[in-house]
């Protein structure tokens, strides 16, 4: 337990819960370590063994039409699923939240649901923060973010904010989903 507390104190930006680290200390080694090679930090990183990673994105054009996209990969970087679809009109934040929701629904209905843990990564800090802390969200989105937050209170699921440069494939899929 002391090691879990130490990790949380040292890595304040970690989305890994204290309970998750306590139950599976190997998770702390999967946290992105500082890397002085700028290109490595800015590119997609594979998930640790036992996890799958869904990178998601939402995008809107100037007319307000929005699309979402995502790519699910394993620890080897192999693509297991992709999606790209229109979600109608709205804001970019709504599109980002809907991309996370679609990834959750896709994973829950997949063959990997019962045997894998999931990391969802988005380059939208607002969407990740709102889902992680629903009380901080815009009241318009409160029901939706509370519905999604339930998935991330277990040690099987993680939600992380990443740099846009680590999310290029999902960004391309989201933009093509606009139509």
**Domain around 75:** 51-177
End-to-end CA gap in the chain: 50
CA-closest candidate to residue 123, choices 90, 95, 148, 83: 95
Residue 119 within any structural domain of the chain:
yes
Residue 14 within any structural domain of the chain:
no
Here the CATH number for the domain that contains residue 136 is 3.30.420.10
In angstroms, the CA 57 to CA 64 distance is: 16
Question: pLDDT confidence of 37, banded at 50, 70, 90?
Answer: very low
In angstroms, the CA 58 to CA 85 distance is: 10
CA contacts within 13 A on the Cβ side of 9: 6
**Residue 7 · residue 1 · CB < 8 Å:** no
pLDDT in tens, 93-126: 999 999 999 999 999 999 999 999 999 999 999 9
Question: pLDDT confidence of 8, banded at 50, 70, 90?
Answer: low
Residue 16 within any structural domain of the chain:
no
State the total domains in the chain. 1
Residue 154 within any structural domain of the chain:
yes
What is the per-residue pLDDT for 155? Answer: 79
pLDDT in tens, 53-84: 999 999 999 999 999 999 999 999 999 999 99
pLDDT at residue 36 above 50? Answer: no
């Amino acid at each position: 337990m002391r090691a879990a507390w130490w990790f949380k104190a040292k890595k304040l930006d970690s989305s890994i819960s204290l309970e998750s680290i306590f139950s599976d200390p190997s998770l702390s080694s999967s946290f992105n370590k500082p890397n002085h090679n700028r290109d490595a930090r800015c590119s997609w990183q594979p998930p640790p063994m036992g996890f799958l990673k869904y990178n998601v994105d939402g995008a809107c054009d100037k007319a307000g039409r929005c699309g979402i996209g995502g790519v699910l990969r394993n620890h080897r970087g192999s693509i297991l699923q992709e999606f790209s679809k229109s979600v109608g009109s709205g804001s970019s934040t709504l599109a980002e939240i809907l991309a996370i929701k679609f990834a959750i629904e896709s994973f829950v209905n997949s063959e990997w649901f019962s045997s894998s843990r999931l990391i969802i990564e988005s380059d939208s800090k607002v969407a990740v923060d709102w889902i992680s802390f629903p009380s901080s969200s815009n009241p318009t989105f409160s029901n939706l973010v509370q519905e999604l937050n339930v998935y991330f209170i277990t040690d099987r699921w993680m939600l992380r904010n990443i740099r846009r440069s680590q999310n290029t494939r999902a960004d391309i899929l989201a933009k093509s989903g606009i139509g």
